[in-house]
Structure 1
Amino acid sequence: MTLAGKNECGRWAFFLGGITLYALGLNLFLAPNNIAAGGVSGIATVLGSLLPVSVATVIFLINLPLLVASVFVRGWKFTKNTLVGSWVYTGLVYATAWLPVLTTNPVCAALFGGALYGAGMALLVLGNGSVGGTDLVIRLLVARFPSISVGKMALLVESGVIAFSMIAYRDIEVGLYAILAIYICAVFADKALRGFNQGNLCFIITGKDPGLVAAPLMEHIGCAVTRLDGYGMYSAAERGILLTAIRTSQTPRLKRLLSEVDAKAFVVVLPATEILGGKFQHLFLPGEKP
């Protein structure tokens, strides 16, 4: 199989995996506990519990006019991928509706349902897919009201879904559980997309021999160190600049070693959202080997 074929297979694997996690999070945790965690699925959760119709049917009925509108507003090229995602998602919600509810504790449901939603969202992003829903609503509204940013529009739409659930159920707590689920979803999606290889980026400015300062760091911590040449404008002297990326747990040890080898070193420690390469995580594309 060619590299392009492998990448396409990988994209579809992420796409289908993300939709499956979405459906499981909805049917195993959120919908049975009346937690409308935003989106069309949230609206369907409310209507499905109040009307004699399944959640999957409501999702399909809401998405249908949105897809038709999308064809006229954004064109067929944009809509066709969302069309596939929304239909597959609806089918999987139908197919997993028979699964037993895993908990009736709304807090647990919000935590685990939000986690599955977040993992599913990350996989959909990696697979460049969409299940329609409020994602489609937001894009259509932004096209109609370009002065409002995507982030603000998303906040307005999701807040409206949560408010709708609180009014429909006449219960403020269901809205609070929904907010908790959305927060957990965002945290998991962020972690999955940015990676768990977070750490610190350290700049060490020293007046001593940079090699002598870097040696104990490489020996005792095992970190790679890059040397840059600098010039101190205040001291009017040459300075060695050492750059290294370490895990957060290694930062206290680095400070202790620096205090022993050069107590006068000027050190800047910056949080690094994700570190790739070297002893950290490798960057790879769907379908390729890491």
Structure 2
Amino acid sequence: MIKPAVKARPPVQHRRLTRAKFLRRAVFVTIGSALVSVGLELFLVPNNIIDGGVVGISIILAYLTKLPIGLFLLLLNLPFLFLGYKQIGKTFALSTLYGVTVMSIGTYYLHPVEVLTTDPLLSAVFGGVIVGIGVGLVIRSGGSLDGTEIVAILFSKKTPFSVGEIVMFFNLFILGSAGFVFTLDRAMYSLIAYFIAFKMIDITIEGFDESKSVWIISDRSKEIGDTILSRLGRGVTYLKGEGGFTGDGKKVIFCVITRLEEAKLKAIVEEKDPAAFLAVGNIHDVKGGRFRKKDIH
């Protein structure tokens, strides 16, 4: 039996970065990695406060062995770089390698610098803020400074746990270890620093002025849509829907607004149809169309 010829798939074409985008990525990865070095050497490490992930393990090992923390930051991340290259891609791996190298070199040169404060609470707060902003800049630029997320992705494929749950388990184990290596109060300060850094990463990646997606179902959808256009100046899209219980046709309004416009939009819906169904969600990124963020007048 003659088998039909199977056409070979063409090789996947990866879009190359332009020079401007490459330079922009390199600049932000450099700034982010340098900020993490500052947060570690001028706030966290001198006060025996750790962060989660590879950074936390490196701080503990540096304390126990009296070796430079930059050495452990580089060596412990190398296996994860290989996994990142296989699972995510070359660009991610190279960005991560560059960021980890800058961070390791930065900690080496900042180690002899006098610490800014010996107060553990101030160190946890400001160290967490600076580390979080730095890590957020690197992630936003397509890289990473910690390999535990890559391990979590691999484990999540073979276990019923999510990536976030696995990362949380790793970090709770690492932060708990600070209580045995240092003291219990340092473990508590480490938890404060980790929480602040976690929130600052989100803020840095998403920004303060995040967008909102809005879904409105109403029998007066045309009137509500026209009011949104006239008062907010936002474009709306009408979608066709069907009621699950009644089977009646419904017109659904979809639009994207800024966080500052949310209260005004809710007032419009309440004014035109108090019985309307309204759902509002967060959007991390908006591109295309006529949407642009603007000031409210």
**C-alpha deviation, 1:175, in angstroms:** 0.9
Q: Which residue of 1 aligns with 2:180?
A: 167
- Identify which of 12, 21, 24 aligns with 2:26: 12
Contact 2:224 2:269 in 1 (8 A): yes
**Displacement of 1:215 after TM fit?**
2.5
Query: Are 1:192 and 2:195 matched, yes or no?
Result: no
Q: 1:70 to 1:269 in 2, by over 3 A?
A: closer
CA shift at 1:33, angstroms?
A: 1.8
Does the aligned pair in 1 maintain the 2:238–2:251 contact within 8 Å?
Answer: yes
Aligned counterpart in structure 2 of residue 216 of structure 1, from 191, 208, 227: 227
Residue number in structure 2 paired with 1:33: 47
Q: Secondary structure at the match of 1:258?
A: helix
CA deviations 1:144-196 (Å, max 9, x no partner) are x9658655553444333322221122x21211111121112221212222333
Greater length-normalized contact order (CA 8 Å, ≥ 6 residues apart):
1
Q: How many Å separate the matches in 1 of 2:261 and 2:146?
A: 43
2:5 paired residue number: none
1:57-136 to structure 2, matched below 5 A, reads: 57-61=68-72, 63-64=74-75, 67=78, 81=94, 84-131=98-145
Contact 1:196 1:274 (C-alpha < 8 Å) held by counterparts: no
Please say if 1:181 is aligned against 2:198. no
Cα offset, 1:126, TM superposition: 3.2
Shift of 1:201: 2.7
The offset of 1:22, in angstroms, is 1.0
Asked if structure 1 preserves the Cα contact closer than 8 Å seen for 2:220 and 2:272, the reply is: no
- Runs of 5+ consecutive residues of structure 1 not aligned to the other structure: 282-290
The two structures have a TM-score, normalised by structure 2, of 0.72
Name the CA distance, whole Å, in 2 between partners of 1:271 and 1:279. 17
**Structure-1 residue corresponding to 2:252:** 241
Residue of structure 1 equivalent to 2:6: none
**Residue 135 of structure 2 contacts residue 145 of structure 2 at CA under 8 Å; is this kept in 1?**
no
Q: Which residue of 2 aligns with 1:273?
A: 283
Cα deviation 1:94-136 (Å, max 9, x = unaligned): 1222444233332222222112222222222234334466568
State which drifts further: 214-223 or 151-160: 151-160
- Measured after TM superposition, the shift of residue 26 of structure 1 is 0.4
Once the two structures are overlaid, the 10-residue window that deviates more, 110-119 or 266-275, is 266-275
- Counterpart of 1:192, as a letter, is T
In structure 2, how many angstroms separate the alpha carbons of the residues matched to 1:176 and 1:98?
26
RMSD: 3.9
Residues 55-95 of structure 1 deviation map (CA, whole Å, 9 limit, x = unaligned)? xx2441574376479779x88x9797455544432211112
Q: Which amino acid aligns with 2:229?
A: M
What TM-score, normalized to structure 1? 0.74
* Offset, 1:240: 2.9
The DSSP-based 3-state class of the residue aligned with 1:92 is helix
Sort the Cα spacing of 1:129 and 1:70 in 2 relative to 1 into closer, same or farther, 3 A.
Answer: closer
Q: Aligned pair in 2 of structure 1 residues 275, 129: CA closer, same or farther (>3 Å)? A: closer
Query: Structure 1 residues 45 and 262 mapped into 2: Cα distance closer, same or farther (>3 Å)?
Result: closer
CA distance in 1, matches of 2:232, 2:79: 58
Counterpart residue identity of residue 218, structure 2: T
More divergent stretch after superposition (220-229 vs 182-191): 220-229
Contact residue 212 and residue 257 of structure 2 kept, 8 A: yes
Kept in 2: contact 1:118–1:185 (CA 8 A): yes
C-alpha contact (below 8 Å) 1:70/1:140 kept by paired residues: no
Q: Are the aligned partners of 1:200 and 1:269 in contact in 2 as well (CA < 8 Å)?
A: no
Secondary structure of residue in 2 paired with 1:36: coil
Could you tell me how far apart the structure 2 residues matched to 1:268 and 1:131 are? 40
Give the fraction of aligned pairs with identical amino acids, expressed as a percent.
24
Structure 1 residues 104 and 139: alpha-carbon distance in aligned structure 2, compared to 1, 3 A threshold: same
Change in Cα spacing, 1:102 to 1:222, as seen in structure 2 (3 Å) is farther
Unaligned runs of 5+ residues in structure 2 are 1-15
Query: Which stretch of the first structure deviates more once superposed, 200-209 or 58-67?
Result: 58-67
Query: Counterparts in 2 of 1:35-50, with a 5 A limit?
Result: 35-46=49-60, 48=62
Paired with 1:83 and 1:269, the residues of 2 have a C-alpha distance of 42
Shift of 1:226: 1.7
Contact residue 73 and residue 100 of structure 2 kept, 8 A = no
- Which residue among 235, 247, 251 is the counterpart of 2:262? 251
Q: Tell me how far 1:36 sits from its aligned partner.
A: 1.1
